[in-house]
Structure 1
Amino acid sequence: MSLEENIARVKANMARAALEAGRDPAEITLVAATKVQTSDTIRAAIAAGITICGENRVQELTAHLDDYAYDGAKIHFIGHLQTNKVRFVVGRVDLIESVDSPRLLEAIERQAEKLNLVQDVLLEVNIGREESKGGCLPEDLPALARQAMDLPHVRLRGLMAIPPVAAEPGANRRFFAATRQLYVDIRRQIGDNDTDIDCLSMGMSGDYEDAIREGATLVRVGTALFGPRPPMHP
């Protein structure tokens, strides 16, 4: 299938999953995970209706920015972010989805203050408690959320999670449901009627429909749009 056909198919699947859950399909946004894609492919995806691109690597983000590849779309940073790379990301993306520690929050705050802006972020939760993955543990989330809310140059927008690889279809729904409950709890604990906390980013190519059924507002899809990833650049 062509890129255009893949995008149409994924969006149709998203709408169907939303309706099955009694949700408005307009509540869910597709983030195209553009890891290792070329600038031309990114431009083609935007031309075909993609409105948000998600990048995993700072090196690729800066290269595509220099190439004006994202023109016409918003940009999310969805990969692991080291504190020494914060200066290349803050102010250059619309949302940092992968904030997982007090140290990283402070680094983002310092850079945002230098640039005199407010950086939108999501807090990444290690919902499966996997040692190989980033994200704060669920019990550490309230303190991290409170820290984010107290920083003047950071705006907390919600949560992000990457559950364990599912052994069978539907196996991740319990992790998505648990993340959704954390999201609800955080909103209740520190939000109000005017809260900015409105994003729940979970679900990728293999499980985005289940994530939508459990409350995702953002799904990060790469392979289902672009096909198998080409080899990583050095």
Structure 2
Amino acid sequence: MTAYMDHKDLANEIIDETRSTEIRDGVHRVLDDIAQAESAAGRAAGSVRLLAATKTRDVGEIMAAIDAGVRMIGENRPQEVLAKADGMRRLCAQRGLTLGVDGSADAAAAAATADTIPFHLIGQLQANKISKVLPYVGTIESVDGLELAVRISRRAVAHGITVGVLLEVNESGEESKSGCDPAAAVDLAQQIATLDGLRLEGLMTIGAHVDDEPTIRACFAHLRETRDAILASKAAGTEHCTELSMGMTHDMKLAIAEGSTIVRVGTAIFGARAFI
């Protein structure tokens, strides 16, 4: 377990009014920024969804974000899912909301309901952690190859559930990033889409870490083109491959301009990480 988890009680549910207000204001600013970027790009209002990246945030902080209007959350580490999920589910239920999916639900069907908050795993997933997170998360965004997809498929079938997956593509080509080769993405997506227990929901990428807008936009544009090629192929199981999870705080507007459907924001909502 990572060191920071020794310094913060991630299951803590108590939050004071000052902190709650900070988070509420952060959520509202980000939602306003998304709306403005949608308008500037000529896109329909509500076509882009905010995913709150909740790494190192405790249950109380996450619930404050949900109370402020967040309707999708994503965890980076499986151990954080396990530390927070039960508390978040209970508190969501008190608000008439369902977090993620129950053990027998189809992820996509559950996520389509207005009172469900999709719960994504957005960080890397080791094979030995798959069964631990499946009862909680409805979508795994970090599927970067066929081997991991097959392993998730086997566990999903054993659990009797359908799990949403996004194929992670390394559009920037940076060695520090995970993800499949863009040239292999269409073929790989078509293979993943045929696996039992999985629903291919779309593609994910992390923007290039450069100070060059054309380069960043080109990566996002190529992911969109790859998604469109997958859909156009009409290969079995690819009809649901519509999501483009791309864009974070610093490049969100560029991602939205290039067709992002999910943007992942953490610090702009919660502020700098703090330990207790």
Contact 1:87–1:111 at 8 Å: present in 2 too?
yes
**Structure 2 vs 1, CA of residues 191 and 10 (structure 1 numbering), >3 Å: closer, same or farther?**
farther
1:170 and 1:210 in contact (8 A); partners too: no
Among 71, 84, 99, which residue is 1:64 paired with?
Answer: 84
What corresponds to 1:3 in structure 2? 23
Mark the runs of 5 or more structure 1 residues left unpaired by the alignment. none
Quick one: structure 1 residues 20 and 191, their matched pair in 2 at CA, closer, same or farther if it must change by over 3 Å?
farther
Find the counterpart in structure 1 of residue 141 from structure 2: 97
Q: CA deviation at 1:176?
A: 1.0
Amino acid at match of 1:9: R
Q: 1:160 and 2:180 equivalent?
A: no
Structure 2: stretches of 5+ with no match in the other structure: 1-20, 98-116
**What displacement does 1:170 show?**
6.2
Report SS of the residue matched to 1:150: coil
1:2-55 CA deviation, whole Å, 9 max, x = no partner?
211111111111111111111112111000000000111011111111111110
Aligned with residue 176 of structure 1, among 220, 230, 243: 220
Q: Is the 8 A contact 2:142 2:167 kept in 1?
A: yes
* Structure-2 separation of matches of 1:171 and 1:74: 31
Match of 2:258 among 214, 223, 226: 214
Does the C-alpha gap of structure 1 residues 191 and 217 become closer, same or farther in structure 2, counting only changes over 3 Å?
A: farther
Deviations 1:131-163 (A, max 9, x none): 111110111212221111111211101000002
Find the aligned partners of 1:228 and 1:166 in 2 and give their Cα distance: 22
Cα distance between partner residues in 1 of 2:175 and 2:137: 28
Quick one: structure 1 residues 8 and 170, their matched pair in 2 at CA, closer, same or farther if it must change by over 3 Å?
A: farther
1:204 is matched with 248
Residue 171 of structure 1 deviates from its aligned partner by 4.8
Q: Scaled by the length of structure 1, what TM-score is found?
A: 0.92
SS at match of 1:195: coil
Contact 1:180 1:215 in 2 (8 A): yes
Whether the 8 Å contact between 1:91 and 1:119 is mirrored in structure 2 is no
Does the CA contact (< 8 Å) of 2:124 and 2:142 recur in 1?
yes
Q: 1:47 aligns with which of 67, 81, 86?
A: 67
> Which stretch shifts more, 82-91 or 102-111?
82-91
Tell me the number of residue pairs that the alignment of Structure 1 and Structure 2 aligns.
Answer: 232
Q: Percent identity?
A: 40
Whole-angstrom distance in 2 between the partners of 1:52 and 1:155 = 18
Who is 2:230 aligned against? 186
Quick check: 85-94 or 58-67, which moved more? 85-94
**In structure 2, which of residues 174, 187, 193 is the aligned counterpart of residue 143 of structure 1?**
187
Correspondence 1:59-138 to 2 at 5 A: 59-68=79-88, 71=92, 72=97, 73-138=117-182
Bigger mean CA offset, 91-100 vs 61-70: 61-70
For structure 1, which segment, 170-179 or 100-109, has the greater mean C-alpha deviation from structure 2 after superposition? 170-179
